[in-house]
Amino acid sequence: MPFASVCSTVCSAEVEYAVAGEGPGLMLVHGTGGNADSLFSGFVPHFGGDRTVIRPNFSGSGRTTDEGNALTMEMVVEQLAAVAREAVDGPVDLLGFSLGATVATAVAATHPELVRRLVLVGGWVHSAGARDQFYFSTLAKLFAGERDLFKRFVQLTAYSPAAVDGVGHEGLADYLRQDQWPPLGMGRQIDLCARVDNRALLADVIAPTLVIGLAEDQMVPVDGSRQLHAGIAGSQLIELPGQGHMDWVAAPAHIMELTRAFINGK
């Protein structure tokens, strides 16, 4: 995969990204602990026939390298902006999931020339509330401690009860045995999650915006999507019933179709 170089006052980095297809740009931004392949590989055949599909790995994921400092919103924003400029000629349609949705919001607010339409899935506005601070500090402590407990906590909060039951006893046991996840860089991303605050940026988002909320989300409660909708003028809100934070990843067709309809102006 190619790399985009970032040299700015906020960071220096080599940002890995995948690119496929031809046509107007569609950039897909992963969330905490995710990467370009694990979340969005299924989007490429769906959109690659008429879109240039761009999947960056921001710091903490994939082979992206930087100076190793604590992540800031500004750092990750500049990484995505550099990829958008290098990968295509012209603005991109930008979809962000979870932490990726918070970064996508900030990109749209601070680099409006780079974003044609914006799709925010399972996102939120700020982490200042007591519940979010408690959640992300717990996640950070578990990440720094026993890996097994961390993975159990993530499974129980990232998916709806029905989805966890659907994995089954053996599936859950296999999940705990797998060594590929979580990536080492996830700790930096969790730390950034606890410091998200885009309240001052929402009024600067001028791109047409679709907010997709996940009604049974225990990791990022759906109220975060409602706050995004309330703060971004003219945005649309769709709430998906029965969906936990990560449920859609196993069956992304509905979100892909909502995205296609929106970026095509329907």
**What residues are annotated to the active site?**
98, 217, 245
Mapping DSSP onto H, E and C, the string for 178-214 reads CCCCCCCCHHHHHHHHCCCECCCCHHHCCCCEEEEEE
DSSP element (H, E) containing 24:
none
Which among 77, 28, 81 has a CA at the least distance from the CA of 52? 28
DSSP element (H, E) containing 124:
none
Which among 152, 147, 148 has a CA at the least distance from the CA of 184? 147
Backbone φ and ψ of 101, nearest 5°: -70, -35
- Residue 110, CA distances (Å) to 148, 206, 228 in order: 39, 10, 16
What secondary structure letter does DSSP report for 35?
-
Residue 262 CA to residue 210 CA, distance in Å, equals 7
Backbone φ and ψ of 31, nearest 5°: -110, -165
Backbone φ and ψ of 232, nearest 5°: -100, 110
Is 225:124 a contact under the CB 8 Å cutoff?
yes
- Residue 131, CA distances (Å) to 13, 100, 136, 137, 244 in order: 33, 20, 9, 10, 17
